[in-house]
Amino acid sequence: MADIDQITNLIKKEISSYNDKIETSDVGTVISVGDGVCTVYGLDKAMYGELLQFENNVYGMVLNLNEDSVGCVLLGKDTDIYEGDSVKLTGKVVSVPVGDKMMGRVVNALGAPIDGLGEIEADDYYPIEANAPSIMDRQSVSEPLETGIKAIDSMIPIGKGQRELIIGDRQTGKTAIAIDTIINQNGKDVICIYCAIGQKNSTIAQIVAKLKDHGAMDHTVIVNASASETAPMLYVAPYAATAIGEYWERRGKNVLIIYDDLSKHAVAYRAMSLLLKRSPGREAYPGDIFYLHSRLLERSCKLSDEKGGGSLTALPIVETQAGDISAYIPTNVISITDGQIFLTTDYFNAGQRPAVDSGLSVSRVGSAAQIKAMKSVASSLKIELANYNEMLDFSRFGSDLDATTKNILNHGAVLMEVLKQKQYSPLSMEDEVIDIYVAQSKKLDDVPLAQIQNVLQSVRSYLHSNHNEVYTSLKETKLLKDETKALIDEAVEAIKAGLER
């Protein structure tokens, strides 16, 4: 009997000490690795989104919490990692350096400099994922964020804190709109962040060069996760860029952030999810693809005055296939944003650049932020263009047109011409108001289309040298007064007289 008691005691003792031994651990072991994802055994305490440290100074991020393993993505090369390697929990989430020293720099998705200009001294580190400001911490959009592009500022105005999608097929001038908007922020105290996702490094080099040429790089940060990098880096990039922007937003500054583009971001996330063996859904995207973009874009807003009044304006870009805006990712992002600027290949190829389709483009909140002068001249623009397009289709069927129809067609063609604008030449709000006022005064309806850009240019320089008060009045009052209108009319007549001679 005593023997049995002894044995039971022994077993009990063994069991109690065995429990001590299997305490969960901070160190795990790599089970499998490849394609930028990795399965690790033994990290029972891992948190979702936690940073993992591998050997060889490679980091990873936890994305799958399975019963007996964790699935993670690698933020670096997977060729340095082998089965059996040890992995440490860091207790931290993935963070990026933030601060004023980031300005004018090109960084990767983890905030490390890639422009060869040396280390960046960070003021702080912000986690890449953050909660969106609550409703009480926000206020409605009230100030315009000027793009300097006539077609946008007049018909699809954007306000500070708004999220406006730029959507269109490939090569329709999506990036051009974003870059012009950054250039237009020169001297306007808006910090810009251009987040490139899955683009060629050579394209980014050109963009950086263009921004430098136009003096816009000092107020801009470029976050670049290029096509040559792994899917996890592409996935992290927009969140990191947003964290970098939030640093300034929380200090009361206005920040503009461009995600170019979220289609490639979604594709990277899909690749990652499939490798992590998450089940695919529509178009093989994982079930949480909507949340991927909603939690990103919800972070843009205008903060309340108590929170400093800073703002984060987002211009996400989405590429469509053959103009199909009802595909999965486009519809998702359209429903998350406050409107979209829709660019079409037809317009682009017909020389209508920027190729904005005014009928399918909308800004749901921006008009609250439009200045009165612009509102007064541009209010009927969209409807007139809609009429014009309708008539244009109709007129193709017959040649017998009545005078009213001819007038609508003629005026519409003039408006389309006025809305054309070259790349890298954003206009001031005053110039835009003048151009659109001139177009709407119908004084250009008898000018040959080929001359219109010329006339507008001449009117602006005429006013600059002869009646600069037009500009001062517009700038100070933000109204288009009758006496200002008279001066502009006079300028147009003078220039037109010069044409006829």
The catalytic residues are: 364
Reduced to 3 states, what is the DSSP secondary structure of residue 41?
strand
Phi, psi of 77 (to 5 degrees): -75, 135
For residue 440, give the amino acid letter. Answer: Q
CB 292 within 8 A of CB 262: no
CB 220 within 8 A of CB 248: no
- The residue number whose beta carbon is nearest to Mg ion equals 175
Among 188, 200, 282, 422, binds ligand ATP (CB under 6 A): 422
Task: Taking the CA atoms of 229, 231, 234 and 239 in sequence, report the sign of the dihedral they define.
Answer: negative
Secondary structure string (H, E, C) spanning 297-321: HCCCCEECHHHCCCEEEEEEEEECC
Is residue 264 close enough to count as binding ligand ATP by CB under 6 A? no
Task: Taking the CA atoms of 409, 410, 411 and 414 in sequence, report the sign of the dihedral they define.
Answer: positive
Is residue 176 close enough to count as binding ligand ATP by CB under 6 A? yes
Q: Report the partner that residue 176 touches, choosing among Mg ion, ligand ATP, none (CB closer than 5 to 8 A by kind).
A: ligand ATP
Smaller CB separation from ligand ATP, 299 or 353: 353
Minimum distance, C-beta of residue 357 to ligand ATP, in the bound complex (Å): 14
Reduced to 3 states, what is the DSSP secondary structure of residue 93?
strand
The closest of 1, 3, 4, 56 to 30, measured between CA atoms, is 56
Among 60, 173, 198, 339, binds ligand ATP (CB under 6 A): 173
Of 89-97, 381-389, 398-406, 419-427, the window that binds ligand ATP (rule: CB under 6 A) is: 419-427
Among 353, 411, 443, 460, binds ligand ATP (CB under 6 A): 353
Among 162, 175, 230, 273, binds ligand ATP (CB under 6 A): 175
Task: Give CA–CA dist 51/61, Å, rounded.
Answer: 5
Q: Report the partner that residue 161 touches, choosing among ligand ATP, Mg ion, none (CB closer than 5 to 8 A by kind).
A: none
Minimum distance, C-beta of residue 356 to Mg ion, in the bound complex (Å): 15
The closest of 204, 110, 424, 163 to 318, measured between CA atoms, is 163
Smaller CB separation from ligand ATP, 322 or 497: 322
**Stretch 142-171: interaction string toward ligand ATP, x if CB under 6 A:** --------------------------x-xx
Bridging pattern class, strands 50-54 and 59-65: antiparallel
Q: Report the partner that residue 29 touches, choosing among Mg ion, ligand ATP, none (CB closer than 5 to 8 A by kind).
A: none
Bridging pattern class, strands 69-74 and 124-127: unpaired
**Tokens linked to 283:** 């178009």
Contact set with Mg ion (CB under 5 A): 175
Q: Kindly provide the residue ranges of all beta strands, DSSP E only, lying in 128-229, ordered along the sequence.
A: 138-139, 165-168, 190-197, 220-225
Minimum distance, C-beta of residue 361 to Mg ion, in the bound complex (Å): 18
Minimum distance, C-beta of residue 175 to Mg ion, in the bound complex (Å): 3
For residue 192, give the amino acid letter. Answer: C
Is residue 45 close enough to count as binding ligand ATP by CB under 6 A? no
The closest of 47, 63, 54, 42 to 86, measured between CA atoms, is 54
Is residue 330 close enough to count as binding ligand ATP by CB under 6 A? no
Minimum distance, C-beta of residue 144 to ligand ATP, in the bound complex (Å): 21
Minimum distance, C-beta of residue 71 to ligand ATP, in the bound complex (Å): 32
- The footprint of ligand ATP (CB under 6 A) covers 168, 170-176, 319, 353-354, 421-423
